[in-house]
A = this chain, B = another copy of it.
């Protein structure tokens, strides 16, 4: 396969397009810094000012994406007979610009401001464990998202597709309906065979895992994976995320539980997976329309791959087991016990605590609800009842309160509708990519046991990261694995885990 991302100098038309795009990329970087700061350090009382700053940047971005000069540069680039890379750049510019052209400038600013206000309102509601506190902000956001989706439109006539396209180009709700139906039939019966998770872990005794020690462990792990700390940073935040502020500035955040090793450790692995993708994007395309990740689903494939398929592998557990006691007390006498500990399965109410068998049922719940909210079939005032019904149906559990139910995720508060399904697409892609890597590279598990992760990172860098958005997400998967994205590798993986854990319990 020819190396398309750096084969030769770019044509003048593409160079010109890149020049116009550079300012867009810098405004996106600034937007990223405003968001990072909002979650990591900004005083809470500054939320209104921040929402105004974000709104200002959003309207500036909108102006740039819709400018006549950019439109002319895109047209020129499309007309030039370019390489596949150059065509991809021009097409991605047209896609992004087209989404902006479809919506009014005012709406772009309002959406950004509503996101910042929504985040603050959601945090307040969480603090009070009260959905009522959040309801007005959510209603306003849904009104704006419906307006946005209607303005963008979709060939299918389905409002949801207009939003989904932002995160997962080329995927449609009709595809997701089929996929989730298949997953539900495979996963829900197994989920219902699992024990119910305790309503809320009651933390007892002295903190067994001090945060500073957990951070040391996390840093040691991500350094071994290949995260370059000189080109990024790691901070604490209430809601872990990864964000790129510049080609040499990839940041992620984490949170930990002093009574449980797993949330902090696997949070580190998950976000580092995102960060490795971002650090692996081609630096010379940073200011190109095609220089970012191919899609959010592909992004999530990287985080889930490192979190679940590497970080929960027997080899990784053996490696971790060998040096973890240098940092923390570990109440397990074998690496196998550690492995079983990080694979504990239960059906619970909280998505981010879910095991690999139940996780995608949480996504399905959100997918169903957000489709209904957007279509207008479901009012925000009915959301709690609907949430309970869908959780009873899929998992047979009832959230103890608002914080364990509808208030558990920030996504809707900040306008991320059409985003949740990318988590499931990521899980599927992670398994399919990992199978392909193992088929090509041989026994990776033995390497993991020795702390060797470079072969896998190299393979992912070559097959996924380096391509950025110069090919479609579907095409990335085909090139890397030889076939389109399917659920089979993922289902093989979770079914095997389910069997192993059932035997261990039985």
**A245 lies within 8 A of chain B by Cβ:** yes
Contact residues of A between 230 and 264, Cβ < 8 Å to B: 230-233, 235, 245-249
> Are A248 and B45 CB-contacts (below 8 A) given A23-B56, A60-B60?
yes
The chain B residue sitting closest to A57, CB to CB, is B30
Could you say how many copies of this chain the assembly holds?
A: 2
Taking the nearest CB of chain B, how far is it from the CB of A233, in angstroms?
6
Judge whether A30 and B53 touch: CB under 8 Å. yes
> Which of A48, A229, A232, A248 is most buried by chain B, counting CB atoms within 10 A of its CB?
A248
Min CB gap A115→B, angstroms: 16
List of B residues within 8 angstroms of A45 by Cβ: 230-231, 248-249
Chain B residues contacting A231 (CB-CB under 8 Å) are: 43, 45-46
| Bound CA span A42–B60, Å | 24
A26 at the B interface (CB under 8 A):
yes
Distance in angstroms from A223 CB to nearest chain B CB is 15
Please tell me if A52 contacts chain B, counting CB pairs below 8 Å: yes
Q: Determine if A34 is an interface residue (Cβ-Cβ < 8 Å).
A: yes
A29 touches which of B49, B235, B248 (Cβ 8 Å): B49
* A44 and B233 contact, CB distance less than 8 A: no
In terms of DSSP, what is the predominant structure of the interface of chain A?
A: helix
Partner of A246, one of B46, B57, B230: B46
Specify which chain B residues have a CB less than 8 angstroms from the CB of A274 in the assembled complex.
none
Chain B: minimal CB distance from A216 (Å): 18
A56 contacts which chain B residues (CB < 8 A)? 23, 26-27, 30
Bound: A37/B230 CA distance, A? 15
A residues 293-328 with Cβ under 8 Å of B? none
Q: Mark A47-90, 1 if CB is under 8 A from B, else 0.
A: 01110110011001000000000000000000000000000000
Give 17 A-B contacts (CB < 8 Å), ordered by A residue. Answer: A22-B52, A23-B56, A30-B30, A30-B53, A33-B33, A33-B37, A42-B249, A43-B229, A43-B232, A43-B249, A45-B249, A46-B248, A46-B249, A49-B245, A49-B246, A49-B248, A49-B249
